[in-house]
Structure 1
Amino acid sequence: MPARDRLSSWNRFLRNRFRIGVKRSGASIYPALQMTICAVGAYAFAEYVLGHEGPLFAATAALISLGFSREPRTRRVLEVGIGCTLGITIGELLLQVLGNGLWQAAIVLFSSLMLARFLDRGVIFTTQLGLQSLLVVLLPAPEGGVFTRSMDAIVGGVFALIVTMLAPRDPRREPKSNIRELLSELSAVLRQVADALVRSDSTLAWHALVRARSTQPQLDLLARSIRDAREIARISPAYRRHLAELGDLRGSVGYLDLAIRSSRVFARRTTSVINHASLSDTAVDKVSEVINDTADAVDILARALGGGESQPTRERHLRQARSELAAVGARLHPASLDVHDLYGDALVMLFRPLVVDLLEATGLSHEEAVSYLSEV
């Protein structure tokens, strides 16, 4: 590769990394402020109120419990507190039996790590248990006894929970944003499939399949964000009233997951239908129209589930999305779409589960959703 091309490639790479870094840093300002205030507050409380000298574990426990990780905070707090206490206990017991030294430290650390993995799969729990048992063997006990560090860890965890409860940020914001992004992708996939049919371009349909498959990280992120939001709502008095709405969102996400999976199957079948030229021009027009109408309904559903409007507005959007999806379902019969080929029949039949999944995402039961489909 010529030097100029290498330099250009490096410039693009650095610019991209810079943009990503700026975006990531901007999104982390609020969590970083939370972590800073929480860690300093926990340290100050342990030092000035409890009288512990240099309570670093209060600050580190607060940082770990809040963190930038998407693991539930309550679990992290418990892992830090219990892991720290249990690690100190094990370290102290083995210290009495083995004494201190490097080979004793190796035995203590290995035993602690194996016990931690036996008790729980949590990475933080394992790390805390192993670290604390090791420190007991290698370092002199702090003033007040070895369990002073355990108390500091509990202080840090409690401060993290308090900050979480008092956080002014609406826990619904992130999952709703993730839902909008996911449904935007689903809508784009459907429109791309419809466009592929109109153009008779199987490669474009395959690209739609690849795009649908690439939504899995978004689905995983959405599930985690709803789980975290529900946890915050449960422990925060200010947001407990949103638990029911978050529960509805969690139910809808399960059906959206199924709809995404159905879209992948449908896109793959579309590729085969195009390759076999299985649809007449009239059928192509009608099927593509149905797909585009479904994409329009998905856009409305995104506003209903991912918008920040009031409850009446949200319900209105849900009813509108349900109505449009029901209209699509009533047309999903091969004969109604001028489809008279086995490949085309299969394509229409594969689209029906996707519409049912979307109808269920609007709040209908499975039986109610199926009742909107045209009988075959």
Structure 2
Amino acid sequence: MSVAARARARLHLGARRLRMSALPIVQCGLAAGLAWFVAADLVGHPRPFFAPIAAVISLGVSLGSRLRRTAELVVGVSLGVLVGDLLVAAIGSGPWQIALVVMLAVAAAVFTDGGTLIVAQAGSSAVLVATLLPPGQTGGIDRWVDSLIGGTVGLLVAALLPSHPLGPVRRQARRALDELAAVLFGVAEALRQRDEAAAADALQRARRSQPLVDELLASVKSGREVTAVAPLRRPHRAELARFGELARRTDYAFRNTRVLARRALTALQDDEPTVEALPDAVAQLAAAVQKLTAQVGEGDREAAREPILDLVHDSPVLGAAAGDLGMSEQVMIAQLRSIAIDLLQATGLSRSDAQQALRAEL
């Protein structure tokens, strides 16, 4: 790639990041200005330095993350400012004073909750008070009040001007389902070529997939928090509930896929035979996952149900009697059936309906 092409690619990527971050940027600027206005013009503090800082910090994780994390940040900043202000006003500022202030602020944070963010923010805020802003004309607790004002304003801005709760969920769902399809295609190709190394690669890829699933589950939880606090986003609750079910079933499908990949590797290592139709069944299931991925965000997940039922109906291997199969073949086919049930539930069927549909097709 030429230098010009790389430069264009970087500019395109930067512009895309800016578009995706436009709302958080506006939120931070609005919250900082509003926090300063409230603390300076309404409350009457002469230099409310910590009000905009706390507002921006609270929006750093805000409603796009867990509400507990936001509360930890606000409490940590406020606690560090309070302890730092009270102590520095009494003992002054210097090396040993800074050490004592930080230790006491962190100790107070640990006693209060012990959360990592509370402790970190309490310590850093105490350092700011003891070094950059030693007591002057500002009252002993004014900066603590400013930090509470800033944190509250930040939360209000996030609630009244919230991010879209479904955008991150859709992106994470597509990423997770794309990875699931890729792992299944890898298993299918390994069985078809009887390639032990390819089966090992597919298993390792399946084992590395858990962070994607965790991010999907976390994004659903964050989206629910947005709809719980932001009135404008409450109409999205039903769609988030459907995504919650999709996330859980994707998690279960990955677990079953890891078992499938591990058994495929074992079968190849032990040179066990596999029925000829098995790789095709795995690949067909992977294609069904791709169909489900294409329907994410389109509101028509039922359209992804038919390929799964086609697999169960058309594939002779899923209806094979256990007595005609080896141990590894039985395990892999059982996992395929389990994954099919997971995916049917991801399309909106209940578990009983998914099992009934599977039995009806077998």
CA distance in 1, matches of 2:341, 2:315: 8
Q: CA deviation at 1:370?
A: 3.7
Instruction: Write the mapping of 1:175-214 to structure 2, written as runs, cut at 5 A.
Output: 175-214=169-208
Determine helix, strand or coil for the equivalent of 2:165: coil
2:300 is the alignment partner of 1:335: no
CA distance in 2, matches of 1:145, 1:321: 69
Identical columns (%): 32
1:82 corresponds in structure 2 to: 75
- The change in CA–CA distance for 1:52 and 1:193 in structure 2 (over 3 A counts) is same
Moved more, 83-92 or 35-44: 83-92
Cα shift readout 1:24-64 (whole Å, capped 9, x = no counterpart): 55644442333223223322332233322222211111211
Cα shift readout 1:260-317 (whole Å, capped 9, x = no counterpart): 121122112112223444336xx22x2122212212321232244x2244xxx34x33
CA distance in 1, matches of 2:178, 2:324: 29
Cα shift readout 1:243-273 (whole Å, capped 9, x = no counterpart): 2321231232122112112112211211222
1:4 corresponds in structure 2 to: none
Q: What one-letter code is carried by the residue in structure 2 that aligns with 1:335?
A: A
Q: What one-letter code is carried by the residue in structure 1 that aligns with 2:104?
A: S
Q: What one-letter code is carried by the residue in structure 2 that aligns with 1:51?
A: G
1:38 corresponds in structure 2 to: 31
Contact 1:70 1:224 in 2 (8 A): no
Q: CA deviation at 1:239?
A: 0.9
Q: What one-letter code is carried by the residue in structure 1 that aligns with 2:330?
A: D
State the TM-score, normalized to the length of structure 2. Answer: 0.81
Q: CA deviation at 1:178?
A: 1.1
Determine helix, strand or coil for the equivalent of 2:235: helix
Instruction: Write the mapping of 1:226-245 to structure 2, written as runs, cut at 5 A.
Output: 226-245=220-239
Q: CA deviation at 1:114?
A: 2.7
Q: CA deviation at 1:242?
A: 1.1
Contact 1:339 1:345 in 2 (8 A): no
CA distance in 2, matches of 1:291, 1:106: 61
Instruction: Write the mapping of 1:157-306 to structure 2, written as runs, cut at 5 A.
Output: 157-167=151-161, 169-279=163-273, 283-284=275-276, 286-304=277-295, 306=296
Q: What one-letter code is carried by the residue in structure 2 that aligns with 1:360?
A: Q
- The change in CA–CA distance for 1:137 and 1:192 in structure 2 (over 3 A counts) is closer
Contact 2:79 2:109 in 1 (8 A): no
Contact 1:300 1:320 in 2 (8 A): no
State the TM-score, normalized to the length of structure 1. Answer: 0.79
Moved more, 87-96 or 259-268: 87-96
- The change in CA–CA distance for 1:165 and 1:124 in structure 2 (over 3 A counts) is same
2:303 is the alignment partner of 1:317: yes
- The change in CA–CA distance for 1:346 and 1:80 in structure 2 (over 3 A counts) is closer
Q: CA deviation at 1:204?
A: 1.9
- The change in CA–CA distance for 1:80 and 1:276 in structure 2 (over 3 A counts) is closer
Q: CA deviation at 1:122?
A: 3.2
Cα shift readout 1:176-207 (whole Å, capped 9, x = no counterpart): 12101211121122122212222222222222
1:5 corresponds in structure 2 to: none
Match of 2:337 among 329, 352, 355: 352
Contact 2:32 2:56 in 1 (8 A): yes
Contact 2:288 2:304 in 1 (8 A): no
Cα shift readout 1:301-346 (whole Å, capped 9, x = no counterpart): 2244x2244xxx34x336546644664799624438x953233223
CA distance in 1, matches of 2:198, 2:11: 30
Instruction: Write the mapping of 1:15-30 to structure 2, written as runs, cut at 5 A.
Output: 22=14, 24=17, 27-30=20-23
- The change in CA–CA distance for 1:193 and 1:132 in structure 2 (over 3 A counts) is closer
Q: What is the RMSD of the two structures over their aligned residues, measured on CA atoms?
A: 3.6
CA distance in 1, matches of 2:136, 2:65: 31
